Amino acid sequence: HDVAVGEITQAWGKSQRLLGPVLVVPYTYKMSKEEWVLKPDGRSVREDTWRTIAAEAFFLPEQLDGNGDLDPSARARGIYTTHVYAAKLRIAGRFAAPDAAFTGLPATELQWNRARVCFALSDLRGTREALTVKWAGEDVLLQPGARLEGFGAGLHAPVKLAAGGGAVDFALELTLNGSDKLTVVPLGRKTNVKLASSWRDPGFSGSFLPVTREELRSQVGRTPIKA
């Protein structure tokens, strides 16, 4: 049974975890360090030297809204059967204007032209189409790789930012194949997730359980869940 289930989910898509978006903006700052410096006359003296150091700033959404429909179905291999799902998801929200003041470092310069927006996704084989993220009203093609250290698979895209710019809206629509479970990481300062499915007995896990759950009799078996 386990081998059959493994073969089905390997081809269809395994459990999915969606993390993001995260806005990443490279930046540089100046740091002084006292070092021994060799002078032309051969003397060694201690002087403060300034170095430029590169780093990356990570910004999370002010608002993150997720809406989706999970359509379960059965798949069989020989005499064994398991359930999988196809999820139609829409992730939308807003980032506040990025500001480097939080670093508290001198001479900090955000490199606006190298900004990127990143999504970590457990199993990219479950995505069905070429994906784009709508960023400030423009469609930007997503590229493979989360570009978030420690999070493995995912998607990212270079985005346009300007010094002194305001808040930026974003939206992503995707159809995702998976099995076992779907996890959405609540990264926003305020996060709302609403899912609906014909699965009659949903189970919940994680640090934030649904706030409300309602079975709509008018839509046979549809069970919207808001968290």
CA–CA dist 145, 162 (Å, integer): 24
Give the 3-state secondary structure of residue 149: coil
Specify whether the CB–CB gap between 64 and 186 falls below 8 A: yes
Percent of the chain residues past pLDDT 70, beyond the cut: 93
What is the pTM for the complete model shown? 0.84
pLDDT per position as a tens digit, 107-150: 788 999 999 999 999 888 767 677 899 999 999 999 999 999 88
Alpha helices in 117-190 (DSSP H): none
Are the C-beta atoms of residues 68 and 32 closer than 8 Å to each other?
A: no
Give pLDDT, residue 225.
55
| Distance in angstroms (rounded) separating the CA atoms of residues 89 and 7 | 25
Least reliable range by pLDDT among 7-11, 95-99, 166-170 = 7-11
Distance, in Å, from the CA atom of 70 to the CA atom of 83, rounded to the nearest integer, reads 12
CA 29 to CA 185: how far, in whole Å?
Answer: 31
Nearest to 57 by CA among 5, 7, 22, 84: 22
Averaged over 87-94, what is the pLDDT? 95
Whats the size of the chain, residue-wise? 227
pLDDT the model gives residue 83: 92
Q: Which among 139, 125, 129, 150 has a CA at the least distance from the CA of 22?
A: 150
